[in-house]
């Protein structure tokens, strides 16, 4: 069974840049996994940030960007703000209609 890994927690200073990554326990992430990223605040439904590796969803600020770096998908926040402090999840599509969520990264802005 496919397992998608994320850093459990990261921190960034206000105005700084942070990169969250998403990997597979077996194999490399490629564009064919259609990497997507979601932001979730406590008590709320996830909010879509990035899809198809690097396409920003409607209304998402351009300080959020997606890429594939090496064998992982990456979400970079450039010029982090206090309001970016929340949980971030990646999702990989692994075929046969199956999506797999990463375990999530809790981002602290301090």
Q: Catalog residues that contact other proteins under the rule CB under 8 A.
A: 1, 34, 36, 38, 40, 45-48, 51-52, 55, 57, 87, 89, 91, 93, 96-104
Instruction: Identify whether the C-beta of residue 49 lies closer than 8 Å to the C-beta of residue 39.
Output: yes
Nearest approach in angstroms of CB 14 to other proteins is 26
User: Among candidates 64, 65, 63, which has minimal Cα distance to 54?
Assistant: 65
Tokens of 62: 């351009």
Instruction: Identify whether the C-beta of residue 13 lies closer than 8 Å to the C-beta of residue 109.
Output: yes
Measured from the CB atom, the residue of 4 and 15 that comes closer to other proteins is: 4
Measured from the CB atom, the residue of 16 and 27 that comes closer to other proteins is: 27
């Amino acid at each position: 069974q496919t397992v998608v890994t994320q850093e459990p927690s990261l921190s960034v200073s206000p105005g700084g840049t942070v990169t969250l990554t998403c990997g597979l326990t077996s194999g490399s992430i490629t564009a064919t996994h259609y990497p997507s990223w979601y932001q979730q605040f406590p008590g709320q439904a996830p909010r879509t940030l990035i899809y198809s590796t690097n396409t920003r969803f409607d209304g998402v600020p351009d300080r959020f960007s997606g890429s594939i770096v090496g064998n992982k998908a990456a979400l970079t926040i450039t010029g982090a703000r206090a309001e970016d402090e929340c949980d971030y999840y990646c999702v990989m599509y692994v075929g046969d209609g199956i999506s797999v969520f990463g375990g999530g990264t809790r981002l602290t802005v301090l």
